[in-house]
Structure 1
């Protein structure tokens, strides 16, 4: 096992999948790592729940790189739900997927034969310990059947707690995914509050950064608010900024209801919403770097400008944007431009 520093692990979130997975749009995809015995238990569990496998990508490797444990198979499998699935509402379908993922995770805890990172249409997640480039080459992650339009990648393992693949960024729940650079010093009270909400999937917390995904989920899914409200939940306005805001009364109520989810950084959060909007926000301390840049058709969010230089060298650097503590910078799914929303502006209508 490697220490929790840069280059100590890799976590990948892929959505907007191309290749064979694109032919199964709308069907849920399970991502995880399974031993042979765990795969048999998975098959039985999924059959019992009415999910039939229709396409799978299995990556089996021997002789892992130094520092990488021997795991079994890395699996991304598409399922056809039972016919009754069509009669369920969107909310009930989403709840069923979350509950199934949690059930697989919990069933695998004791024997450590099953790890489930995501179970959602059009999403694949891969996590492992080791040097990111070494792991990427070892798993042949440049294969054509893993091409994706949206990618989140973080290249280290957990820095503050025991190393555990569930603690590896990015974190996913019900179409929402985030990763973080920083230290969430308000982790314990936020975790305790989220765990009292009675929402399946608000569990685990092997990393203090996982709560950022759950707060975003709570904002979008439970409160029904737009992405621009996320900053008002985690870093609410104060004093004259709040009093003079065009939505002052609404934001005051929101701050009262969500006060237990206010963060205390430093934190830079990059994430993706269920419809495919990628964004970046900073907390008030603004002690972690972050920059957005690119050109129509391809944009990147990075902790450092050198990351943009490596990913999109032919962009116009003069258009790069580094969000400040009041900003939400995002790129919509059409990937045509960077939009910046200030907390001082009026909130858009509910989606």
Structure 2
């Protein structure tokens, strides 16, 4: 198994808080890699939230080609954070080039696009750069979206954190997803490393998605830009969250109704039974077969945890509203390491009908049951 840790805070914090929590849970993951999703950025990115940020790893030749490509498309660099390690990488970590996060001003003709059209163009740009990089090996791109940075690497999370100096203030963030394991079901590939991301939504998963093929095929049939790649069977969880909220217009509390719908007996007295029954039939190919624990973050900073009916992957949520900080963790020890000063009696472990949600105000854990009335997207 792997281990997950997510942190949401009213104020920007160091990604090393999440790395430290993964390190505490080290017996539960193999130390083969780390992936980070950062949003609600602080530091120099605080005043650049309307500019999309391109995150990835580039050789010198890759940076030159990136510059040529973006200039040709009409993008201009607004601010960049470049880090090229000058020390030898940890054991098992390849020596690469520059880890970069670059905020771009949009091409002039893009500035009047509506949100949906702009989002689709940003996704297409990311996918074009990824395809270019897969041919040459000079470019790896993990995200291209406002107020978002993604970092991925092979190796022990703590060693990688120190190697890449992930405590730097310029990448502090309010919302952090961190997973402490490389992909081990398929070939090692940074595109298979959690978390995964599309249009402001990031998720990561502890488990095994045995229903991967029918889910992937259904998503690919939706005609949505970005529903592709799938180097990992867990990437579909991100796309289902995107489909639920952005295409179906439902609140994230409805995510469970898509991936693990109630049986007929459970929903017989539900006030939205007719809708839920239709949703279950329409999205039957998105039903998962676990065990899986999913932690994710939405574009507005809302963080959530959900599990399948088997409930065979651990997960706990807790925090301190006075500190304005909550954590989602695979194990209590990770939560204790990050937020020791909290009311532990308020920790919540979601059961098979539950979704745990913490809003960007970091005031409380909202406990949503599939038995509750449905909400439109908030």
Q: Given the two structures, how large is their TM-score scaled by the length of structure 1?
A: 0.97
Cα distance between partner residues in 1 of 2:225 and 2:66: 19
Alignment match, 2:72: 48
In the alignment, is residue 111 of structure 1 matched against residue 136 of structure 2? yes
CA distance in 2, matches of 1:206, 1:215: 16
Alpha-carbon separation, structure 2, partners of 1:335 and 1:56: 29
Correspondences of 1:187-198 after superposition (within 5 Å): 187-198=212-223
Query: How far off its partner does 1:22 sit?
Result: 0.8
Bigger relative CO (Cα 8 Å, ≥ 6 apart): 2
Alpha-carbon distance in 2 for matches of 1:195, 1:345: 31
1:1-351 pair list within 5 angstroms: 6-62=30-86, 63-296=88-321, 297-351=324-378
In 2: Cα distance, 1:48 partner to 1:244 partner = 58
Report how far residue 350 of structure 1 moved: 4.1
Q: Secondary structure at the match of 2:47?
A: helix
Supply the distance in 2 between the matched residues of 1:225 and 1:295 (Cα, whole angstroms).
28
> What secondary structure sits across from 2:183 in the alignment?
coil
Task: Give the Cα separation in 2 of the matches to 1:194 and 1:340.
Answer: 28
Instruction: Indicate the RMSD between aligned Cα atoms, in angstroms.
Output: 1.1
Paired with 1:287 and 1:131, the residues of 2 have a C-alpha distance of: 25
Contact persistence 1:5–1:157 (CA under 8 A): no
Q: Offset at 1:61?
A: 1.2
Tell me the secondary structure at the aligned position of residue 321 of structure 1: coil
Deviations 1:136-157 (A, max 9, x none): 0011100110110110001110
The answer to whether the Cα contact below 8 Å between 2:32 and 2:154 also exists between their aligned partners in 1 is yes
Give the secondary structure class of the aligned counterpart of 1:172: strand
Alpha-carbon offset, residue 86 of structure 1: 2.3
CA distance in 1, matches of 2:240, 2:107: 31
Q: Which runs of 5+ in 1 are unaligned?
A: none
Structure 1 segments, 4+ long, off by >4 Å, are none
Offset at 1:85?
Answer: 2.2
**How many angstroms apart in 1 are the aligned matches of 2:84 and 2:354?**
43
**Distance in 1, Cα, partners of 2:162 & 2:152:** 14
TM-score by length of 2: 0.90
User: How far apart, in 2, do the equivalents of 1:293 and 1:218 lie?
Assistant: 28
SS in 1 for 2:46: helix
Q: Deviations over 1:285-304 (max 9, x none)?
A: 00000000011100000000
